[in-house]
Chain A
């Protein structure tokens, strides 16, 4: 923090006394953040590989633990991200609505906790307890699963359906069209996708984009 002030200080100085070269010559920032990997993860229609990740209760969990599920609502999310926080109640509502119909919500925290202490395993447990998460909240501490999916940010949803023994990606994107205000939502992308899958219809809007917090990859 002090370093940043110093940098700003030097900038001020340089602008005042006109010695702009000082600012030019200084190492002005840390090395760039690790750039997000190219989105080479699962595409729509791909069959995904099952995974095994640690849940907040300490147990390892995989999709095979849900033999009667018709599909899954996988939400990459995190504690620290304001967009994730803003969507938290809506993710809980999704699980309450669809788990009983065969589409349980499974949340995965992909962030490197070294980048955001708030995203540590202990803090995940605290948050889940506070909000009474009805769904698993898994830590992807090696980030292998998040990379396999091609997740880029939190929150980001993958709706999966089981079909002929495979688990197929059927929707990738945002939860709905208003991150800030649930009452301003006009398009419920995830609900629409799951509703269609439940009645055997194809998903209409299969992918959307949304602003979120870039996943912090380990360097």
Chain B
């Protein structure tokens, strides 16, 4: 078993401050810049860490309205070096998926790239809540694979282990504490009735199944699940203006909105609520794993379950869908 390094809170904080700015979740669970390491709650914060990398509202460019051609000032990527403290494994894993969207070679988002390059991810092992299901995706509450440094809290400080070469290099700058043996990684929680991930192809093959409509009645397409989802990444472009000053913004959008797929001319391929619900499930559990073997569109953070105003449960729905599909397949066979 590999050893971890014991770090006092103060020496970690000093080293992080040395490195640059510091972000952490605040009391409301939103990510904000802080001066000192805050006390974290036991579970993931309310907002996913994607807010720092692809915020809900980001300026792309600005210009002034007036006669003659406008002088467009593109927004510059934020190159502030720093660290993010308190990243949970589920949120960090989600960033791997966002990388796929925003760092694909054909189209790199410079703002996202700058943030990813400049911010060190300091993970903190968590105490899973009642709706956390990272175990479904094969990792646990102290998984270090997607963060630079993973900390396990203990009295007065942390036990640190590096998750990446960058994290390794950072740990070398912190006054070394005693080496302590690391506990075996804890398995992630999963629903007791869960039997395994759905087959992406089987899900897609049942695109027109009536069950989507049966489930649709329990969903109102508010999109809260998408807004708090660490992997949801859809955005739209909008302009906002004030007295001739115009800002072009990239703002969060989501597939649950009725106008998300509405086209010029009025046609909307996802007219009914059930089709938008289906889109969310299929995107996470069929399209993404089909196109990117090894990746999934969900990391089991369970925010959607916690926050759904109508108490829907994504995993329970997916499980029910799979059960229906399997039963019907058996009947045919």
- Does chain A bind chain B? no
